[in-house]
Amino acid sequence: MEAEVKDQLVSIEKPELIAPPNWEPVIMGILCNWCSYAGSDLTGTSRIQYPPNIRIIRVPCSSRVDPWFLIKSLQTTADGVLVSGCHPGDCHYISGNYFARRRFLVTKKLLNFVGFHENRIQFSWVSAAEGPKFAKVVNKVTEDIKKLGPLHLYKKENFEKK
Ligand code: FES
């Protein structure tokens, strides 16, 4: 029964559909205010280059990231999502990032089960002093998503075409 359900759902990724020329992925970056957002700011002020594909949303803590944010992002606009927070032990709300990590792992498993490739959602720890690391993470996520191609099926227009 479970395999049957999975067979029906594993149609979200459509590798046979070719990305349009000049296609660039849209990546939703959900960053905690105190570390990763400040890290992204440092990347900018240090003039470190990173792909412009990421659209950043600032949240007070990574524990604020509701699984629904990820689902809604992939369903509407994004080809991938990056969630980033303070390093373990550095969360400004003591243990928020531990909750976030656990919730993220479960959400990732769920999204994988319904057919999203696991690289479409990624998690990282970036501190306020790690501007170069932030650029590295964004580069990696962008490369991973580019390899996967556009997330076709879940886009509204693709439903309308059928
Ligand atoms: Fe940054 Fe909690 S304040 S993860």
Q: What is the mean pLDDT of residues 38-43?
A: 97
Q: What is the mean pLDDT of residues 78-100?
A: 95
- pLDDT band with cut points at 50, 70 and 90 for residue 106: very high
- Residue 49 pLDDT greater than 60, yes or no: yes
Residues lining ligand 1, judged by CB closer than 6 Å?
A: 32, 34-35, 61-63, 85-86, 91-93, 96-97
Q: What is the mean pLDDT of residues 71-99?
A: 94
- pLDDT band with cut points at 50, 70 and 90 for residue 114: confident
- pLDDT band with cut points at 50, 70 and 90 for residue 40: very high
Question: How far, in Å, is the centroid of ligand 1 from the Cα of 149?
Answer: 31
Q: Tell me the residue length of the chain.
A: 162
- Residue 69 pLDDT greater than 90, yes or no: yes
The per-residue b/e assignment along 85-104, b for 16 or more CB within 10 angstroms, e otherwise, is: bbeeeebeeeebbebbbebb
What's the confidence (pLDDT) of residue 12? 65
Return the percentage of the chain with pLDDT > 90, whole number: 69
**Sheet hosting strand 80-85, strand order edge to edge:** 54-59, 27-32, 80-85, 121-125
Domain ranges of the chain: 62-131+138-149
The whole-angstrom separation of Cα 11 and Cα 154 is 10
- Residue 11 pLDDT greater than 60, yes or no: no
- pLDDT band with cut points at 50, 70 and 90 for residue 4: low
Torsion of Cα atoms, 26 then 108 then 70 then 79, to 10°: 20
32, 59, 94, 98: which to mutate for ligand 1, most atoms within 8 A of CB?
32
SS3 31: strand
Q: Give 108-111's long-range contacts (Cβ < 8 A, gap of 24+).
A: 110/67, 111/70, 111/71, 111/74
The whole-angstrom separation of Cα 148 and Cα 146 is 5
35, 99, 102, 124: which to mutate for ligand 1, most atoms within 8 A of CB?
35
Single pTM value for the model: 0.86
- pLDDT band with cut points at 50, 70 and 90 for residue 158: low
* Segment 124-155, tens digit of pLDDT: 999 999 999 999 999 999 999 999 888 865 55
